[in-house]
């Protein structure tokens, strides 16, 4: 199941556009974006916060689809662990 979700996530990122695929942000940039977009500082991103993060990386139009893949425990938030998972593979 995790492999399918990873493949689906990769496909969603590819569909977000050539600009996103050609210049993926560094891990440091991604972590800074998580911190900056966690507006209430609860250590997780709600859908609005995550959409703002993706918009900053040029993939806001894919927010609904990507959010569904990243919210692996389906609690309606992207935890730091869920956010970092693709970086650890």
CATH code for the domain of 78? 1.10.238.10
Q: How far apart are CA 78 and CA 45, in angstroms?
A: 5
Per the structure, the complete domain to which residue 48 belongs is given by 2-88
Per-residue pLDDT reduced to its tens digit, 57-79: 999 999 999 999 999 999 999 99
Total domain count, the chain: 1
pLDDT band for 86, please (50, 70, 90 cuts).
Answer: confident
Tokens found for residue 10: 């990769």
- Ranges assigned E (strand) in 1-89: 44-45, 78-79
19 pLDDT more than 50: no
Q: What is the token pair recorded at 43?
A: 């250590």
Per-residue model confidence as pLDDT tens digits over 27-49: 999 999 999 999 999 999 999 99
Give this prediction's pTM: 0.72
Is the distance from CB of 66 to CB of 13 less than 8 angstroms?
A: yes
Q: How many CB atoms lie within 10 A of CB 14?
A: 12
- Supply the pLDDT for residue 59: 93
């Amino acid at each position: 199941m995790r492999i399918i979700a990873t493949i689906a996530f990769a496909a969603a990122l590819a569909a977000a556009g050539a600009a996103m695929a050609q210049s993926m942000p560094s891990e440091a940039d991604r972590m800074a974006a998580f911190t900056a977009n966690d507006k209430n500082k609860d250590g997780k991103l709600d859908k609005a916060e995550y959409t703002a993060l993706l918009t900053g990386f040029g993939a806001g139009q894919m927010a609904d689809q990507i959010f569904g893949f990243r919210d692996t425990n389906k609690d309606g938030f992207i935890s730091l662990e869920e956010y970092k998972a693709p970086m650890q593979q």
